[in-house]
Structure 1
Amino acid sequence: MVDASPITAVLGPTNTGKTHRAIERMLSHDSGMIGLPLRLLAREVYDRVTTRVGEARVALVTGEEKRVPRRPDYWVCTVEAMPVDLEVDFLAIDEIQLAAHDQRGHVFTERLLLSRGRRETWFLGADTMRPLVAELVPTASIVQHPRLSRLASAGAGKLSRLPPRSAVVAFSTPQVYEIAERLRAQRGGAAVVLGALSPRTRNAQVALFQSGEVDYLVATDAIGMGLNLDVRHVAFAALRKFDGRAVRDLDPAELAQIAGRAGRHLADGTFGTVAPLSLPDGVAAAIEAHRFPPVRRLLWRSSELDMSSIDALLGSLRARPRARSLRLVDDAEDTAALARLAEDPEVRARARGEEAVGLLWEVCRIPDFRKLLFESHVALLAEIYGQLSGPSAALDAGWMAARVAEIDEVGGDIDTLITRIASIRTWTYISNHARWVRDAAAWQERTRAIEDRLSDALHERLVQRFVERGGGAARRLRAASGARSSPGARREEAEPPAVAEGHPFAPIAALRARLAPGPAAPAPEDDRARWVEALVGAPHERFSVDVGGRIFDGERLLGQLARGPTLLLPDVRLAALEDLGAGARSRVLRRLVAFARDLVEALLAPLRAPEVRALPAAARGIVYQLEQGLGTAAARDAEEQVAELAPEGRALLAAHGIEVGERVLYVQPLLRRGALERRLALCAAWFDRGRVPACPPPGAVSMAVAKGVDPRAYAAIGYPVFGTRALRADVAERVLRALASGEPAERLSGWMGCPAREAPRVAASLLG
């Protein structure tokens, strides 16, 4: 592929601001797309971008979630889900070193070789990719930034002596559970992060840690890919992992990726091991210096697939790369599923012709989220393909409902809930293929609701098992009084070991079991957590804002629009949410800031339509002036642009409701009642208290100018000041035309909505 636009490879260690720089660069363009390695990370970046520009301009696309507004400018995606045929000005791929990953690498390699932005392309990743990027993308400029904080080895330490704000990393679920239970007994509890957690559960667990409710986090390498946490120390409890095929040692670069979670931004961090484990010789020094052997080969698969038959497709999937630095992926899950289904005579009979083979390949690409028996996954794919290739060309609603209903059960232990969440992800993925299911939106809502319920139940189970209720507050009280927790007391609180029937102590154990309290009922904070999750995932229609800039959820006050960098970028100040923890408050604040951005975007939609953006320069200058004034501008402030405006440009503006008057430029749709109230809300945030006009009565064409009110605030709501009155913009131009034709001012007082005695002063100001 010929690289027509500049390509930049931003390579280096963790915490160098690579993703942050890419987001900022993307937002400097009119359109852009960023591909991220994890669904969780995509959601985190989506939250950051929507906080800047609102949700109306940003699409989120992952395998299981698609939030695509009517006209998105920016796309935040997982790498596999990127709509590669969509042209955007800026394109970025994060964690490009995953091109060497055995299962997913070929997708990252394909993006590296073929995906480009119209104006600019960025690849972000580890410095180990430098030689291969230089070889495969020779036109790329390679840039490196220093780590923002220092990462130092702290050696080995006992679990009981880990400093607060530590993350303990293990590579198996049983070991994560065992460590979390020990931390509960010794230190009051821990949050748990596993790759199998849903975003909702992960967010709730992280909120426990971020808010200080617990001081420890136990995680797998799921925290290694860019999730921003307030971690000061990373302790490895294991150095080997099962990678899907075999148990192997982690290489130093993988360890560095995880250790780099310690210390964010300018805060230094440390890493080490849980004694008696220790890092191999030289690994700690390599991590501190960020020096690792370069990646030698990337995984590859042909992007030119032959859909003429199953065998042709398999042949193209097995085509060998020409470059020696590329290696064919030989055990991809989707290819293995296709090969297995190709042995089924019924599937072969149905998969004839390009369309049928293409559908089969789409079905084979349904991920095996459950990771149980591969044969079970293939059997499900065969059933799905059979229905989709049948007469109805869609999945049977009753069959799908029965499969989904089996999963919709919030009882069970942690592992059971994790398995159900994995299962519902399959159906969420399927429901996001609108051609496969009838009433896809309803299915998407249903599967998402089930995942939310399962996620809430899983979070409760995790808290019940791994967090001492009130642990954070209790520890702070004990620290303040100088008391120390008693490990022995904690052991007494733990569940006693089971006693076999017939044992001499069995009657005592039975009596103790009968007298023991039952499972604790969900604490109020669990209800609050569910409310927060529902709130942050709610559509904008759930929220309302009054003319004073107060934001409500129904009758409940959530926050207040506050002065931001500009009139068009208000901040939000939370109100009456003191009962929420810091992590939950942060997430609610992000949601309300995104709502505020979309409030502005919806208000100014007539000025931001694609056709308006394509207008000539003079017309765009007028549009800019109108944006800055929330839909109103003084003609004298745009004299140069108005003078250059051709008749056809004026006609195009008028076609979009934009009027270029003698004294006032205004947008007719923004004078309607709903728009007026949103303009008042934004003015309440920007102008000093007491300098904002009252809301004019419905149908009012003017208002008396109140003492102390900023004249710019009147103009910003569409009522510029002329003399003693603030006249609605369209009325001001109508009165001006009548005055120019010789109509006496006194006879126009009704038009002006003012007493006859005031009319001459208003007229003089209009004519002046």
Structure 2
Amino acid sequence: MYLTSQPMILSGRSVIAVLGPTNTGKTHYAIERMIAHGSGMIGLPLRLLAREVYTRLVERVGANNVALITGEEKITPPKAKYSVCTVEALPRETKVAFVAIDEIQLAGDLERGHIFTDRLLNLRGREETLLLGSGTMKPILQQLLPGITVIERPRLSQLFYAGEKKITRLPQRTAIVAFSADEVYSIAELIRRQRGGAAVVLGALSPRTRNAQVGLYQSGDVEYLVATDAIGMGLNLDVDHVAFAQDRKFDGYQFRNLNAGELGQIAGRAGRHLKDGTFGVTGRVDPFDPELVERLQAHNFDAVKVLQWRTPHFDFSSIANLLRSLDAPPRVPGLARALPAIDQQALEFLARYPEVQDLANTPERVSLLWDACALPDYRRITPAQHADLILTLYSDLARHGTVNADFMAEQVRRSDRTDGEIDTLSARIAQIRTWTYVSNRPGWLADPTHWQEKTREIEDRLSDALHERLTKRFVDRRTSVLMKRLRENAMLEAEISVNGDVFVEGHHVGQLSGFRFTPISGTEGPDAKAVQTAAQKALGLEFEARAARLHASGNNDIALGSDGLVRWLGDPVARLVGSDHVMRPRVILLADEQLTGNARDHVVARIERFVNHHISTILKPLDDLSRAEDLQGLSKGLAFQLVESLGILFRRDVTEEVKSLDQDARASMRRYGVRFGAYHIFMPTLLKPAPAELITLLWALKNDGLDKPGFGELIPVLAAGRTSVVTDPSFERNFYKLAGFRFLGKRAVRIDILERLADLIRPLLQWKPGSGARPDGAYDGRRFTTTTAMLSILGATPDDMEEILKGLGYRADAVKPEEAAAFLAAESGEKTADAAAVIEDATEADTAKEDAPAEQEAASTDTTVAAPAADLLVTPDAPAEPKPVLLWRPGGRNDNQRPVRQGERRNNGGNQAARTEQKTEGQREAGARDGAPREDRRRDGGHNGKPRDRDGQRDKTAPRGDRNDRGPRKDRDTKPAQPQRFEAKPPRKEKPVDPDSPFAKLAALKEQMKK
């Protein structure tokens, strides 16, 4: 029956209250007092703390003498003299000699306070009772327990306020406090990235997992602990500093700020025994005001005025009477009725179910229902869901006496999995803790021992898996051992693998590439700096050894890449930058500061020696030309320009200089590999891929062109043997020239191929009607048409050829195919009536030619194939109306002038005037008398009539004239002498006299005497 009389409170005459702030040794004192008695019992606020005290007692008196009793775990040796319990597991009555209750200030807690209040008021030891807690409990204890003995213990060390600090700047051995799992995890993630790792402690973790995490911190594997206020409940930790990342918490009913007593309980964990501690704030928490700081440092907190209370006398006659008894108010001053706890909330839900009302029809059934409602809500679900689970268990207990074994097995099986991440494992641990509690309830299961072992095994396995996941996520185990060794000032052992991996104490800490050490990602903060320092010390000897090996290595071990990096055995050791001299770039060493002194000087000297040797070898013709001492005067100046232009000059840019060179000067330059072409002054040996790539790099270094579009992309085209390529407007224009190509509008042509094109054009412009066999493509000695041989060596289509010739300064005259055929027929001695057949054949041939694959038409070849004359006259697009034939002649424009459009109308006088006025360098490049170059006007019969090139050398590729076409020698000898043909020539330009050359002065004097 429910008793309405005033609750009985035992006397305080045999009770001793040991009060004081944290770090006063209260728990240690209680253990010492308990083992001084023949039997004893101690109640602790947390299962985790109970485990810690149990372990310490086992070490003192042996496992057979100590029992551990919590809601989820029971270790009860038959002859155990001492019991360690959670406060909820403490019995209301006992016969042991000693009883202690720790953290009694929790009697004021809204959620659990009534449990502590009931035990401190009603539980006594036969010989001694100790109440341990904060000094704030002194007034209320003296009020409720008259005659109580109060012992106040001072703190063994001092506590100081350290202010506000960023999380990444917190000192080692710091506990960071937050009040939600999400906040704890995010802080631990940040600590791992910045400081190497952190252990985590949350109330939701299983005791085994929390113990493992605390052990990780206590052993020194990590220097930081991120926790909830669970660390404030008596955990003995080696903490030097406590940082509050939050100062608000959810107390089960609302979010509220922590009071000064709660802050002091947590901050007091800093400093152990005689070692002082500090506390402060971090994250988004505002700094504490001075008044609060003073109270925390002085442990001056408001006294507890009331304790939470719930009646210990329950009326089990009916559910309604039980609920009324739970609402009974206290009748003693200093006690306040507690808010409905989880068990009472569950009972209120179940009381509404008709099924429960039918089952709970006797006091025994009502008592059983109340026992079932005591099931803890480990899963943190809603009261309604929790009540449904209790209903299932209660139904089995009321109807069958035990929980259904199949139902129990199914629930346990669902939790028996160790896969998943932290949240998944935490949920499974909460689930299995529920069934661990069920298995430990007396009389609830038919085979409780089996299920106790089974659930304990699963919980341990899940706890270990959770600890592993937490460690993997929040701890960098790679550096944990290193940090410990560094704190011990131990000599670290370093090892470098053959591929440059650096290991310190067996842990991979970075990569050594050349003379640079790169730590692996995720190593920041002071700890990481210490690791790097240890690694650098170990790398000192390796740097010196590598410097010696590089200094003695051959050129085959060193390479210069197209990116300007010098690599030794594949690792970059230096990079090149531009200097005043394009062929003498500067060397920038890529090495850490640890490479110093003679070792560094030797490395730099060896790399510079290699770079100079590499450039002088690959660009030997250019290097030799730059060092030439036998060149004087204009030839020396031209050589200087050629070197500055990296081996290629447009002839139009140095026309006057070239004209002023005599044959001896040209011959001296030819000995260095210089070729005087129709369009360029160049060095053919530099048009190979390797020299072209190095030339491009040197130009890019001097002109900041490594990042410009097109850098390095034309060299593969050159290496593939392509004679021409479609241009890309986005590319830097100079890259075409440096790679050996001439940019001509939509297409770029290799420079040496352009000179071969000039060799094909030259005979066509030298031929005169009636002078002998007509070369393919010749028209009237002033104009020519494109031939298959031209298309073949350029790898171009007729349209491309038109662009190329215009880019070279040639102009096109358009004539009708009939006129061209008539002219050819007349020159060949044929009748004009046969011209139609020529046109018809040309049309058919061009049509077949257009139908051929484009690849065959643009294929590159070194073989000159003669084209039928008709192929050059008619285009195949419209056989009925053939396109005009383009007759090319040396034009009067340079590359920057507008090309003459096809079909543009001209009158004879106007054409002649235009040709007279437009004598430009474009014409000088391609033309001479009637379009032939001046230097190629000579035709020496002593050399079989072969035309000469721009340098006066015989053109070996030009076809010989047919001896039969010239007739028998006798006839030629008996022919009357033909009058010599003279042409007006412009006055010869006087060559400038080199003031430094005595030979030039002598030649000038002879010329004056002749005049």
User: What TM-score, normalized by structure 1, do the two folds share?
Assistant: 0.62
Q: How does 1:665-676 map to 2 (within 5 A)?
A: none
Any idea what the Cα deviations from partners look like across 1:571-628, whole Å, max 9, x if unmatched?
xxxxxxxxxxxxxxxxxxxxxxxxxxxxxxxxxxxxxxxxxxxxxxxxxxxxxxxxxx
Cα distance in 2 between the residues matched to 1:144 and 1:416: 46
Measure, in 1, the Cα distance between the counterparts of 2:454 and 2:40.
31
Deviations 1:650-681 (A, max 9, x none): xxxxxxxxxxxxxxxxxxxxxxxxxxxxxxxx
Question: What is aligned with 1:351?
Answer: 360
Deviations 1:673-705 (A, max 9, x none): xxxxxxxxxxxxxxxxxxxxxxxxxxxxxxxxx
Give the counterpart of 1:125 among 133, 154, 162: 133
Cα distance in 1 between the residues matched to 2:180 and 2:12: 46
Q: CA deviation at 1:403?
A: 0.9
Matching residue within 433, 446, 451 for 2:459: 451
Matched with 1:420 is 428
Offset at 1:2? 4.3
The residue number in structure 2 matching 1:25 is 33
Residue matched to 1:333: 342
Instruction: Pick the aligned partner of 1:62 from 70, 90, 114.
Output: 70
Q: Secondary structure at the match of 1:299?
A: strand
Q: Structure 2: which amino acid aligns with 1:253? A: G
Q: Report the CA distance shift for 1:281/1:109 in structure 2 as closer, same or farther (over 3 A).
A: same
The question of 1:166 aligning with 2:174 is answered yes
| TM-score, with structure 2 as normaliser | 0.47
CA-based RMSD of the aligned residues comes to 2.1
Query: Cα 1:264–1:476, aligned 2, differ >3 Å: closer, same or farther?
Result: closer
Q: 2:473 aligns with which of 448, 465, 469?
A: 465
Task: Read off the aligned partner of 1:157 and give its amino acid letter.
Answer: K
Which residue among 15, 21, 38 is the counterpart of 2:46? 38
* 1:434 Cα offset (Å): 3.1
- 1:489 pairs, out of 518, 521, 536, with 521
Q: Secondary structure at the match of 1:490?
A: coil
Matched to 2:338, the amino acid is V
The amino acid that maps onto 1:254 is E
**SS in structure 1 at match of 2:83:** strand
Contact 2:17 2:130 in 1 (8 A): yes
Aligned to 1:288: 297
Question: What letter is aligned with 1:20?
Answer: H
Q: Does 1:429 align with 2:437?
A: yes
Distance 2:191 2:278 in 1: 19
What does residue 137 of structure 1 align with?
145
Give the secondary-structure state (helix, strand or coil) at the position aligned to 1:147: coil
Could you tell me whether the CA contact under 8 Å between 2:345 and 2:383 is conserved in 1?
A: no
Task: Report deviation, 1:86.
Answer: 2.4
Residues in 1 aligned to 2:484 and 2:74: alpha-carbon distance in whole angstroms? 42
3-state SS in 2 of match to 1:139: coil
Residue of structure 1 in register with 2:310 after alignment: 301
Deviation at 1:266, TM superposition (A): 1.5
Residue 280 of structure 1, CA deviation: 3.3
- The 10-residue stretch of structure 1 (87-96 or 269-278) with the greater mean CA deviation from structure 2: 269-278
Q: Could you say what secondary structure the match of 1:106 adopts?
A: helix
Residue identity in the other structure for 1:331:
P
Q: Which AA in structure 2 matches 1:314?
A: L
Equivalent residue, structure 1, for 2:22: 14
Question: Contact conserved, 1:128 with 1:295, CA < 8 A, in 2?
Answer: yes
Q: For 1:153, which of 161, 184, 192 is the aligned residue?
A: 161
Q: Tell me: CA distance 1:120–1:475, structure 2 relative to 1, closer, same or farther (3 Å).
A: closer
Secondary structure at the aligned position of 1:88 is classed as coil
Alpha-carbon distance between aligned partners in 2 of 1:116 and 1:30, rounded to the nearest angstrom = 15
Taking the aligned partners of 1:423 and 1:204, their CA distance within structure 2 comes to: 20
Instruction: Say whether residues 1:439 and 2:439 are aligned partners.
Output: no
Per the TM alignment, residue 372 of structure 1 is displaced from its structure 2 partner at its CA by 1.7
Asked if 1:221 corresponds to 2:253, the answer is no
- Give yes or no for the alignment of 1:271 onto 2:274: no
**How far 1:469 moved relative to its partner?**
2.1
Q: Match of 2:477, SS?
A: coil
Match for 1:142: what amino acid? V
- Residues 403-462 of structure 1: CA deviation (Å, up to 9, x unaligned): 111111111111111111111111000000130101101100000011011111101110
1:199 Cα offset (Å): 1.4
Cα 1:477–1:265, aligned 2, differ >3 Å: closer, same or farther? closer
380-389 or 27-36: bigger deviation:
27-36
**Amino acid in structure 2 at the alignment position of 1:406:** R
Cα pair distance change 1:183/1:307, threshold 3 Å: same
CA gap 1:324/1:409 in 2 versus in 1, 3 angstroms: same
Provide the rounded CA distance (Å) in 2 between the counterparts of 1:433 and 1:275: 44
Deviation digits for residues 130-165 of structure 1 (CA, Å, limit 9, x no counterpart): 111010001101110111111111111121111111
Give 1:326 deviation, angstroms: 1.1
Rg larger in structure = 2
CA contact (8 A) 1:314 1:339 kept: yes
> C-alpha separation between the residues in 2 aligned to 1:477 and 1:151?
29
Residue 246 of structure 2 contacts residue 284 of structure 2 at CA under 8 Å; is this kept in 1?
Answer: no
The equivalent residue for 1:108 is 116
Deviations 1:203-252 (A, max 9, x none): 11111111111111111111111111111111111111111111110011
**SS of 1:197's equivalent?**
coil
Which portions of structure 1, spanning 4 or more consecutive aligned residues, are displaced by more than 3 angstroms?
Answer: 474-489
Contact 1:194 1:220 in 2 (8 A): yes
* 1:332-411 alignment runs, 5 A limit: 332-390=341-399, 392-411=400-419
Alignment of 1:500-511 (within 5 A): none
Letter of the 1:128 partner, please give it.
T
Would the aligned equivalents of 1:190 and 1:217 in 2 still touch at CA under 8 Å?
Answer: yes
CA contact (8 A) 2:93 2:123 kept: no
C-alpha contact 1:10 1:122 (8 A) present in aligned 2: yes
Q: Does residue 194 in structure 1 map to residue 202 in structure 2?
A: yes
Q: Secondary structure at the match of 2:336?
A: strand
* Matching residue within 200, 203, 213 for 2:211: 203
For 1:4 and 1:478, the matched residues in 2 are separated by: 54
* Superposition map of 1:540-579 within 5 A: none
Deviation at 1:46, TM superposition (A): 0.7
Deviation at 1:33, TM superposition (A): 0.8
User: Quick one: structure 1 residues 54 and 92, their matched pair in 2 at CA, closer, same or farther if it must change by over 3 Å?
Assistant: same
Letter of the 1:365 partner, please give it.
Answer: A
Specify the SS of the correspondent of 1:451.
Answer: helix
Secondary structure at 2:376's aligned position in 1?
A: coil
Equivalents in 1 of 2:407, 2:362: separation in Å? 27
Task: Give the gaps of 5 or more residues in structure 2.
Answer: 1-8, 493-503, 511-517, 525-1011
- SS of the counterpart of 1:9? strand
Greater relative CO, 1 or 2 (CA 8 Å, sep 6+): 1
Q: Contact between 1:156 and 1:276, CA under 8 Å: does it hold in 2?
A: no
Q: Aligned letter for 1:489?
A: S
Instruction: Call closer, same or farther: CA 1:140–1:404 in 2, change over 3 Å.
Output: same
Residues 319 and 351 in structure 2, CA contact (< 8 A), matched pair in contact too = yes
1:235 aligns with 2:243: yes
* Equivalent AA in structure 2 for residue 411 of structure 1: D
How far residue 379 of structure 1 moved from its aligned partner, in angstroms, is 0.3
CA distance in 2, matches of 1:212, 1:45: 22
Could you tell me how far apart the structure 2 residues matched to 1:399 and 1:191 are?
A: 37
Amino acid at match of 2:234: G
The residue number in structure 2 matching 1:178 is 186
- Provide the rounded CA distance (Å) in 2 between the counterparts of 1:166 and 1:281: 22
